[in-house]
Amino acid sequence: MIQYLLPIIAVVVGALSVIIFKPQKKKNLKLLLAFSGAFLLGITIFEMLPNLFIDKENSKSVGLFIILGILLQICLEFFSQGAEHGHVHLHKNSKQFPWLLFISLSIHSLLEGTPLKGHDNILLGIVVHKIPVVIILTTFFLQSALSKKSIVLFLSLFALMTPLGTYLISNYPLLTAYNDQITAVAVGIFLHISTTILFESSEGHKFNLVKLLIISFGLLASYFI
């Protein structure tokens, strides 16, 4: 049950933190995003990759699906414009529901949910990743021309997508039969997102000791958890 509830709670926590605390400093959000990216990368490398390749006769096919996951995420970001790693570039004066953003984030979140059953560390990685992304999304939506009804609808449906992915992979034999392949696609998505966050966290490729420490802490936390 916890794998269904925690992703929803992460979205609620991210949205409420914007409403209650009204964060204004982008620097602090970028540091939080850098930690989440490092933590997600560590969970992917330390937890998911070893489980994915262990006792596999044809490990090359697993690698192929990881590559497909990376390519899929690149395609999704064409429509979301990078919202998965903290970028929102929609027109602030638009009152139309952002369907392309919603669909791309929904596909991303559905696949996020597929490897969660029985893997608490991966679940924690998803939660840590979701919170700063939701904070950035909510902050943007509140500053846009979208109605409150549209914002609540977007965030509510978005919150349900990851649990839906977990439910589908757990209850439909057709999907369960391809669990390794689907998980490999999710790994590709996580690798692309987490590394993109880390590359983008260094503006102009300048050395920043604080960001380096935050990233190191995220990687260490993912290793020892």
The answer to whether residue 203 scores a pLDDT higher than 60 is no
Return d(Cα 120, Cα 112) in angstroms, integer: 13
Return d(Cα 22, Cα 145) in angstroms, integer: 18
The answer to whether residue 69 scores a pLDDT higher than 90 is yes
Q: Which helix (H) or strand (E) holds 9?
A: helix 2-21
Return d(Cα 102, Cα 107) in angstroms, integer: 9
The answer to whether residue 92 scores a pLDDT higher than 70 is no
Counting residues of the chain whose pLDDT is more than 70, the rounded percentage is 89
The answer to whether residue 56 scores a pLDDT higher than 90 is no
What's this model's pTM, rounded to 2 decimal places?
0.88
Looking at per-residue pLDDT, the higher value among 116 and 11 belongs to 11
Greatest pairwise CA separation for the chain in angstroms? 54
CA atoms within 13 A on the CB side of 162: 31
The per-residue pLDDT for range 136-168, each reduced to its tens digit, is 888 888 888 788 898 999 999 999 999 999 999
